[in-house]
Amino acid sequence: MEVLIGLLVVLILFGLYRFMKTRKILTTLTEDEFRQNYRKAQLIDVREPKEYEGGHILGARNIPLSQMRNRLIEIRKDKPVYLYCQSGTRSTRAAALLNKKGYKDLNHLKGGFKKWTGKIKAK
């Protein structure tokens, strides 16, 4: 029983650490905040190509999280990066990867694409 409690405490502390680190490297923007500046930034949809083709924010480039490590050359470090995925989980993971590679101005859409009410492009 003590081992289980110890493991639970470790898991909670690790989750808290990751949450605090994410808040430090990534700015979560409401749709209105996101909309204000995403045209001046690098807008990146980190969903898989089939999801992207099903509909994406106008002007977004598709660099799936699964390919991001190999496609970093496509993302400039001197411009803000605006990320989004379906719900916010993958964009958070993408931001952690980008931060490790030296990217600083990282932002993502609160609630992800499923909460987006603006213009979209679909094939």
> Is 19's pLDDT higher than 70?
no
Output the pTM of the full model.
0.82
CA 30, CA 41: separation in Å to the nearest integer? 16
Tokens for 6, please give them.
Answer: 């110890």
Residue with tokens 């493991």: 7
Chain centroid, CA 91 distance in Å: 2
Structural domain 26-121, CATH architecture: 3-Layer(aba) Sandwich (3.40)
Chain centroid, CA 119 distance in Å: 19
What band does 18 get if pLDDT is binned at 50, 70 and 90? low
Domain extents in the chain: 26-121
What digits encode the pLDDT tens for the residues 27-52?
999 999 999 999 899 999 999 999 99
Active site residue 66: no
Q: Catalytic: which of 83, 85, 98, 109?
A: 85
